[in-house]
């Protein structure tokens, strides 16, 4: 007997639907987990250098300066939509969901609206967090739960919203496909009755007050069949304004006054704004002598005005790294309309500057990079090098030591182009030595250092204009700019890409290509810079290949490493077919098999890829293109893996 698609989906979600009632029952018969947090009683200690210690951490309180490319009142006017007129009238919150539109309003003023023109970028669950006393919009966010991984971010986000905030959720297009049980259960705890029933292309909306699940309202409209969407659905609720929140009982210091104001204006910052035992902005690393080269090497963080929470996470990791000099950090914010990213900089105590956007899409990002690099070398006139970070990168605890140790290589070797903290092939299963460095012909980015001479004499005069919608990093990788020079990268990366939203990334892409990268966690690690000049590196690589165990090429997608050799640090070599510099057919298939970077070709040196395989250093040698293929035994047939044939379309 044929079974309809809806019957199948209902069967899969049966446990979740039944769970609605169990969780709702438990909420009314157990202590409320959303009780307001208690007031902290931590003691703040002042240090002679102006730092403060909170709950064992230490924070530098340097003064923030801001360079704006637009009058301050313009940004303030753009922010006016955050603040709803205060009055005694109740707050009427509406959320509307449909295939083409998600909209949220407070007392008939629209605070969030995403239409069909947003395309896939507007798909998923849209969330607005509203101050329960003033009615001000505190935060908005979007979770594309059509793709894998977004529901975990949604779960974390919901758990970080503070009690008495009003939360409105609206769906545009589709939100059920990868909305897992944990996120659904969290919404049920908040009072949702319908979320357990949400299925393919149903529409759903919800309005709730955090900590008061009995005040929650949600509604759902069924999709009539697999190929169509549910009708538009709207839910509304009216909330009495709660008493004005005077903030946490934190010490009466400039920092905590600033933090209190920040947390009253914005939401979604979790533990940073909790009243009980608030963490330091960043724990101070253990005392250590200044790192060579770092006092005159500033760092710029490339940031958009739309991802301030990413920016805070990145800044906290940098401030916790050994050798960090906060006064050397500048955040370049692309955009002049929103204040939150700049307020993050003020809270942390670093300098911010703003870039008025030009161009669009990748061209806009490219113009922002040119603006920031020019500004940094102009601002720090004695700096011969600049480190470039991005707002969605964590820094390793030895981030600055890595650059301090590797920088002399760039200074002394004209065959080098840059130093990068990121290894494109540096996954948890493909790395093995925190001290090892490689030379690669591609510019990795994602935490990198370049020289004033390179930028001012070569790159800046030729930088693509606003009319070129190019990726800046792809442009820098072109050999007309690189000129056969190479970059130094570590075996184990000193940055970690955590951003799941952006122009060129989503939750699925982040999980597939970035989430399993390895970040060094050893603060005492020191990279080995021996044999890193061009001639010495090639000589050492030849010695390694000559002494390596040659892998069988018959089962390329298997382990290929004999059991007796696993995790023995035995050098391995694999010879594969590579007839010319542009012949990457076999490598891309092998990279896919071994779960390495396979979107394009990166991380090679003269036709050789180096990483770790089953706990052993391996060199994959392109034959006959690579000069290192001369070590291949004559009788050995190099590995060849054909790319799958493309399906023909009529």
Q: How far is the CA of 363 from the CAs of 310, 359, 503, 599, in angstroms?
A: 22, 5, 11, 21
DSSP 454: I
Contact 578, 619 (CB under 8 A): no
Q: Where does the pLDDT of residue 24 fall: very low under 50, low under 70, confident under 90, or very high at 90 and above?
A: very low
DSSP 306-352: T-HHHHHHHHHHHHTSTT--GGGEEEEEE-SS--HHHHHHHHHT-EE
Tokens of 226: 């697999």
Residue 507 is predicted with a pLDDT of 82
**Cis link prior to 451 (omega < 30° from 0)?**
no
pLDDT digit string, tens, across residues 419-476? 999 999 999 999 999 999 999 999 999 999 999 999 999 999 999 999 998 899 999 9
Least confident of 12-16, 59-63, 71-75, 201-205: 59-63
Q: Out of 473, 531, 538, 598, which one is annotated catalytic?
A: 473
What's the pLDDT at 86?
A: 53
Mean of the per-residue pLDDT values for the chain?
A: 86
Query: What is the mean pLDDT of the segment spanning 281-302?
Result: 88
| Nearest of 28, 204, 215 to residue 132 by alpha carbon | 215
User: Residue 573 in 3-state DSSP?
Assistant: strand
3-state class (DSSP) for residue 288: coil
**Which residues, including other chains, have CB under 8 Å from residue 499's CB and lie 6 or more apart?**
307, 310, 390, 391, 392, 393, 505, 510
Which of 218, 245, 392, 507 is the catalytic position?
392
Mean pLDDT of 179-198: 97
Q: Is the confidence at residue 203, as pLDDT, over 70?
A: yes
Q: Is residue 267 flagged as an active site residue?
A: no
Give 552 or 330, the one with higher predicted confidence: 330
Minimum mean pLDDT range among 79-93, 123-137, 335-349, 488-502: 79-93
pLDDT digits 0-9 by tens, 370-403: 999 999 999 999 999 999 999 999 999 999 999 9
Question: Tell me, what's the pLDDT at 171?
Answer: 98
- Which residue is it, tokens 């390895």? 518
Give residue 354's pLDDT: 96
Q: Please give the CATH architecture assigned to the domain spanning 299-513.
A: Alpha-Beta Complex (3.90)
10 pLDDT more than 90: no
109 as an active site residue: the answer is no
The domains of the chain are located at: 5-34+77-239, 299-513, 536-631
| pLDDT at position 339 | 95
Which pLDDT belongs to residue 578? 98
More confident call, 69 vs 545: 545
Mean pLDDT of 21-35: 36
Is pLDDT at 566 greater than 70 in this prediction? yes
DSSP reduced 3-state for 71: coil
pLDDT score recorded for residue 563: 85
For the cut 70, the answer to whether the pLDDT of residue 245 exceeds it is: no
- Range with the lowest mean pLDDT among 40-49, 71-80, 101-110, 564-573? 40-49
pLDDT bracket for residue 274 (50, 70, 90): confident
pLDDT value, residue 649: 55
Per-residue pLDDT at 87: 65
pLDDT of 15 > 60? The answer is: no
**Which percentage of the chain shows pLDDT scores above 90?**
72
Q: Does domain 536-631 have CATH number 3.40.50.880?
A: no
Look at residue 342 in the predicted model and tell me its pLDDT. 97
Q: Which of 38-42, 48-52, 635-639 has the highest mean pLDDT?
A: 635-639
Residue 233 pairs with which residues in a beta bridge?
97
Lowest mean pLDDT among 28-32, 176-180, 530-534, 585-589: 28-32
Distance CA 533, CA 527 (A): 15
pLDDT given at position 36 = 30
**pLDDT tens profile 481-530:** 999 999 999 999 999 999 988 777 888 888 888 999 999 999 999 999 99
Residue 555's pLDDT is 74
pLDDT at residue number 294: 96
Give kind and range of the element (H or E) at residue 606: none
Pairwise CA distance, residues 159 & 268, whole Å: 9
5 compared with 451, residue with greater pLDDT: 451
- Give me 350's structure tokens: 């670093």
Average pLDDT over residues 592-616: 95
Q: Are strands 416-420 and 486-490 parallel, antiparallel or unpaired?
A: parallel
CA distance 120 to 503: 11
Q: Has residue 588 got a pLDDT over 70?
A: yes
pLDDT band for position 77 (cuts 50, 70, 90): very low
Kindly tell me the burial class for residue 390, based on how many C-beta atoms sit within 10 Å of its own C-beta (0-12, 13-18, 19 or more): buried
The span from the CA of 257 to the CA of 200, in Å, is 47
Q: What mean pLDDT is predicted for residues 124-139?
A: 95
pLDDT at 44 over 50: no
Return the pLDDT at 470.
87
Which range (270-279, 621-630, 633-642) has the least confidence?
Answer: 270-279
Dist. CA 130–CA 147, nearest whole Å: 27
| Span of 249-253, 296-300, 327-331 with lowest mean pLDDT | 249-253
Per-residue pLDDT at 187: 97
Please state the rounded mean pLDDT for residues 218-227.
96
**pLDDT at 558 (0 to 100):** 73
283 has a pLDDT exceeding 80: no
Instruction: Measure the CA–CA gap between 206 and 167, rounded to whole angstroms.
Output: 8
| pLDDT score recorded for residue 7 | 45
282: pLDDT strictly greater than 90: no
Instruction: Name the helix (H) or strand (E) containing 650.
Output: none
Average pLDDT over every residue of 294-306: 96
pLDDT over threshold 90, residue 181: yes
CA atoms of 369 and 474, how far apart (whole Å)? 13
Does the pLDDT at position 267 exceed 50? yes
Tens digit of pLDDT for each residue in 315-357? Answer: 999 999 999 999 999 999 999 999 999 999 999 999 999 999 9
């Amino acid at each position: 007997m044929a079974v309809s698609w809806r019957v199948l989906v209902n069967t899969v979600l049966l446990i979740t639907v039944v769970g609605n009632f169990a969780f709702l029952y438990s909420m009314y018969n157990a202590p409320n987990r959303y009780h307001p947090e208690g007031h902290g009683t931590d003691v703040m200690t002042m240090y002679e250098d102006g730092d403060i210690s909170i709950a064992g951490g230490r924070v530098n309180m340097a003064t923030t300066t801001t360079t704006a490319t637009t009058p301050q009142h313009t940004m303030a006017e753009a922010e006016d939509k955050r603040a709803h007129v205060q009055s005694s009238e109740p707050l009427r919150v509406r959320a509307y969901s449909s295939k083409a539109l998600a909209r949220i309003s407070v007392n008939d003023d629209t605070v969030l609206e995403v239409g069909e023109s947003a395309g896939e970028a507007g798909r998923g669950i849209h969330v607005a967090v509203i101050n329960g006393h003033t009615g001000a919009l505190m935060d908005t966010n979007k979770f594309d739960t059509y793709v894998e991984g977004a529901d975990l971010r949604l779960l974390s986000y919901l758990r970080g919203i503070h009690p008495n905030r009003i939360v409105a959720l609206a769906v545009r297009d589709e939100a059920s496909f990868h909305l897992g049980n944990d996120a659904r259960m969290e919404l049920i705890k908040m009072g949702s009755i319908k979320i357990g029933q949400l299925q393919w292309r149903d529409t759903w909306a919800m309005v709730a007050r955090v900590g008061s699940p009995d005040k929650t309202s949600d509604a759902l409209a069924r999709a009539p069949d697999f190929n169509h969407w549910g009708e538009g659905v709207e839910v509304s609720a009216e909330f009495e304004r709660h008493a004005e929140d005077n903030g946490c009982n934190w010490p009466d210091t400039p920092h905590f006054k600033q933090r209190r104001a920040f947390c009253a204006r914005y939401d979604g910052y979790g533990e940073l704004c909790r009243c009980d035992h608030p963490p330091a902005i960043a724990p101070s690393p253990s005392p250590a002598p200044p790192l060579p080269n770092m006092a005159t090497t500033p760092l710029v963080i490339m940031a958009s005005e739309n991802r301030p929470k990413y920016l805070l996470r990145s800044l906290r990791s940098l401030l916790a790294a050994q050798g960090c000099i906060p006064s050397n950090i500048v955040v370049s914010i692309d955009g002049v309309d929103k204040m939150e990213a700049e307020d993050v900089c003020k809270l942390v105590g670093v300098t911010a500057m703003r870039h008025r956007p030009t161009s669009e899409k990748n061209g806009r990002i490219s113009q922002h990079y040119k603006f920031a690099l020019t500004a940094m070398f102009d601002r720090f006139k004695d700096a011969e090098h600049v480190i470039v970070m991005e707002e969605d990168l964590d820094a390793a605890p030895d981030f600055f030591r890595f650059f301090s140790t590797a920088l002399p290589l760039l200074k002394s070797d004209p065959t080098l182009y840059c130093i990068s903290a990121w290894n494109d092939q540096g996954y948890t299963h493909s790395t093995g030595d925190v001290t090892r460095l490689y030379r690669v012909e591609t510019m990795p980015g994602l935490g990198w250092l370049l020289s004033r001479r390179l930028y001012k004499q070569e790159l800046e005069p030729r930088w693509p204009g606003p009319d070129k919608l190019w990726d800046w990093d792809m442009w820098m990788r072109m050999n007309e700019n690189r000129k056969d020079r190479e970059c130094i990268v570590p075996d184990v990366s000193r940055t970690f890409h955590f951003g799941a939203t952006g122009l060129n990334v989503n939750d699925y892409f982040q999980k597939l290509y970035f989430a399993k990268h390895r970040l060094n966690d050893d603060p005492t690690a020191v990279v080995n810079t021996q044999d890193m000049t061009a001639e010495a590196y090639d000589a050492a690589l030849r010695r390694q290949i000559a002494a390596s165990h040659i892998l069988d090429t018959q089962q390329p997608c298997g382990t290929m490493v004999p059991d007796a050799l696993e995790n023995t640090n035995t050098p391995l070599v694999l010879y594969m077919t590579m007839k010319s510099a542009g012949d990457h057919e076999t490598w891309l298939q092998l990279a896919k098999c071994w779960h390495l970077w396979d979107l394009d070709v990166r991380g090679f040196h003269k036709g050789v890829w180096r990483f770790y395989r089953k706990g052993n250093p391996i060199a994959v040698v392109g034959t006959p293109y690579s000069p290192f293929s001369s070590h291949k035994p004559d009788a050995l047939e190099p590995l060849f893996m054909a790319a799958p044939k493309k399906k023909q379309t009529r």
